[in-house]
Amino acid sequence: MTMSLTRRIPAWARWNTTTGKVLILGLGVVALVGVWSLISLSRDSPVVYEDISEHFKYGSIGSEPGGSIFRSVGGALPPYWVFRTLPSVCPEKLPGGFASLGLIIEPGKDLPIGVSRRTRLGVDQVGFNCALCHTGTLRDSPGAPRRIVLGMPAHQLDLQRLVSFVLDCSLDSRLTRENVLARARDMNAGGPSLFERMLMRFALFSRLRDTVLELQARITPVLGDRVPAWGRGRVDTFNPYKSVQFNWPLDRLPPSELIGAADYPSLWNQAPRDGMQLHWDGDNDSVDERNLSAALGAGVTPVTVDHAEIKRIRDWIWKLPPPKYPYPIDQNLAAAGAPLYTAHCQSCHADQRFRDGVIVPGTRVGRVVPIADIGTDRHRLDSYTDEFAANQYALYPDSQYRFKRFRKTNGYANHPLDGIWLRGPFLHNGSVPTLRALLDAPDARPRVFYRGYDVFDQKNVGFVSDVPQEGGQTFTRFDTSVPGNGSGGHVYGTTLSDADKAALVEYLKTF
């Protein structure tokens, strides 16, 4: 047998000839490169944080691009090295860097809070996580240090401009391998791996452009001039979702359906919320489903989602206590506000004990109030349709996670007020800057104010809302006459005396 096999190999290719040796060596090298590529490409390893708050801020929920090397799925951001260099590649498009968009960059960190890092498909990738939209900042005064509060609405974040910038700069002709590598070297942090540099030479940028073009084509109708800007602290949850998940052509939807911007909610104290009607319009009553739905918005797909890492966050926010009001409270005044709260607010908004998980049975807490009764701006309600819900039931298909709890409603849900002092501006669309202003009759509420400035207004409870800019940051001019921004409705408590209103606001500080 051996003899006959040997006889069939041509003389030039036998191992004991020179060409044979070269051939075998060559094959060996090819095999090694192949194995190396396979290992590199198939690695899926997030940067893991043991500490739960670090995990919340920087951990991966699986929103980085993944799936197959031939066609990656999911993700909203370019690879790590590209993402980090974007602001310097396109400096005129973002003069103040990521921080000017309200992204929070802690000292010594390479990525903003809310951006995770994970190696997938041979590339160091980044993705969004929960903390992006659910971590806020506040200051006691313009000169005071910034406090970072996890789980608080990211009232300072301009997500729409962030996404627009990333898409825009990813398509910029200056985004080249050379420019990225040069800037990565300047960052002095190791730079891309050899394998990644190889990918950059061959496929990475063309593939990035394809992905970005597709995403841009899908969501442009809600990023551009056709709909009012979301502004800081707000996101249109469901319209990008319609196009990213289901490829609905947004420009063929009725224009009013495309106006859906709403405030970010707080994430603390979720346990007593399970079973309540969640989201502003109360379209889902399962905390877990709501979480997985929000994760889709951050860029996960049913195949790239990291259920285990999301579960860690879910378990943490389940019992995360709402932060206590850190400033002085006039206890007598607050005590005078308590009965007013009981009389005017409690049946819909729960009492103070909600922060400890107590819900008084028989109340309307966490239930939808019909739009005709609540009277607030209806655009956000109308942006969520029963047809969209019907499509959602096929998300996370063939798994225990498949969506079952989404429903079209006809109003907005009552929310418990734990940690309400950190949840301004108020109403679902953030159209009223402070709690005190919310107690004014609708026509007496501010018509125009600024959002995103993080100095706290202790008197009115909310953020100071008359500062248009500071340093490199411009804040969102919020005009309540713009469609979707109406500050009408929710007239509860507006007929109280000024003294009563002051007492009620003082009492709300204790929530």
Q: Should residue 288 be labelled a site residue for another protein when binding is judged by CB under 8 A?
A: no
Q: Which of 28, 96, 190, 397 binds another protein (CB under 8 A)?
A: 397
Stretch that binds another protein, among 88-96, 180-188, 345-353, 408-416 (CB under 8 A): 408-416
Q: Does 8 bind another protein (CB under 8 A)?
A: no
Q: Which of 193, 177, 189, 190 is nearest to 40 (CA)?
A: 193
Q: Find, among 47, 81, 316, the residue nearest to 180 by Cα.
A: 81
Segment near another protein (CB under 8 A); pick from 30-38, 379-387, 413-421, 474-482? 379-387
Among 398, 400, 443, 471, binds another protein (CB under 8 A): 398
DSSP letter at 461 equals T
Q: Using the rule CB under 8 A, is 42 a contact of another protein?
A: no
Q: Show contacts with another protein in window 224-283 (CB under 8 A).
A: 242, 246-250, 252-254
Q: Pick from 386, 466, 470, 479 the residue near another protein by CB under 8 A.
A: 386
Contact 338, 330 (CB under 8 A): no
Compute CA 464 distance to the chain's CA centroid, rounded to the nearest angstrom: 24
Query: Applying CB under 8 A, which of residues 77, 89, 208, 371 lies at the interface with another protein?
Result: 371
In angstroms, what is the minimal distance from the CB of 343 to another protein? 32
- Choices 63-71, 423-431, 470-478, 493-501; region in contact with another protein by CB under 8 A: 63-71
Query: Between residues 8 and 178, which has the closer beta carbon with respect to another protein?
Result: 8
DSSP string for 127-148: EE-GGGTSEEEEBSSTTSPPEE
Select from 410, 448, 470, 499 the one that contacts another protein (CB under 8 A): 410
Distance, in Å, from the CA atom of 130 to the CA atom of 135, rounded to the nearest integer, reads 8
Number of residues that bind another protein (CB under 8 A): 42
Q: One symbol per residue from 294 to 323: x for binding another protein (CB under 8 A), - otherwise; what is it? A: -------xxx--------------------
Q: Does 338 bind another protein (CB under 8 A)?
A: no
Q: Tell me how far apart the 2 most distant CA atoms of the chain are, in Å.
A: 107
Cα separation, 159 vs 167, in Å, equals 12
- Residue 381 or 503: the one with the smaller Cβ distance to another protein is 381
* Nearest-angstrom CA–CA distance, 180 and 144: 36
Our CB check for another protein shows the closer of 68 and 342 to be 68
- Distance from C-alpha of 125 to C-alpha of 65, rounded to nearest angstrom: 7
Alpha-carbon torsion (106, 111, 117, 119), positive or negative? negative
Beta strands in 397-464, from DSSP E residues, in sequence order: 411-413, 448-451, 456-457, 462-463
Taking CB under 8 A as the criterion, the residue among 373, 393, 479, 495 binding another protein is 393
Least Å distance, CB 243 to another protein, is: 9
Q: Is 331 a residue that touches another protein (CB under 8 A)?
A: no
**Minimum distance between the CB of residue 313 and another protein, rounded to whole angstroms?**
23
Q: Which residues contact 242 (CB under 8 A, 6 or more apart)?
A: 248, 250, 253, 388
β 473-474/476-479 pair status: unpaired
Smallest distance from the beta carbon of 356 to another protein, in angstroms? 32
Q: In sequence order, which residues have a C-beta less than 8 Å from that of residue 186 and are 6 or more positions away? A: none
C-alpha to C-alpha distance for 450 and 438, rounded to whole angstroms:
16
**H or E segment to which residue 287 belongs:** helix 287-298
Query: Which is closer to another protein, CB of 159 or CB of 371?
Result: 371
Q: Which is nearer to another protein, 131 or 381 (CB)?
A: 381
Q: Which of 405, 415, 428, 509 binds another protein (CB under 8 A)?
A: 405
402 interacts with another protein by CB under 8 A: yes
Among 71, 141, 145, 497, binds another protein (CB under 8 A): 71
Q: Does 367 bind another protein (CB under 8 A)?
A: no
390 binding another protein? (CB under 8 A): yes
Question: How is 360-377 classified by DSSP, letter by letter?
Answer: -TTS-TT-EEEHHHH---
Rounded to the nearest 10°, the torsion over CA 357, 358, 361, 366 is -40
Segment 480-509, which members bind another protein (CB under 8 A)? none
User: Which amino acid makes up residue 85?
Assistant: T
CB of 256 to another protein, least distance (A): 10
CA-based end-to-end distance of the chain: 87
Min. distance of Cβ 333 from another protein in angstroms?
41
* Residue 463 DSSP symbol: E
> Cβ 396 to another protein, closest distance in Å?
8
Nearer to another protein among residue 73 and residue 171 (C-beta): 73
Token pair 């997030």 in the structure block, residue: 46
C-alpha 306/C-alpha 303 separation (Å) is 9
- Nearest approach, Cβ of residue 399 and another protein (Å): 9
Q: Which of 101, 109, 110 minimizes the C-alpha distance to 166? A: 101
How many Å is the Cα radius of gyration of the chain? Answer: 26
Question: By CB under 8 A, is residue 391 in contact with another protein?
Answer: yes
Per CB under 8 A, residues contacting another protein are 67-68, 71, 73-74, 242, 246-250, 252-254, 301-303, 371, 378, 381-382, 385-391, 393-395, 397-398, 402-410
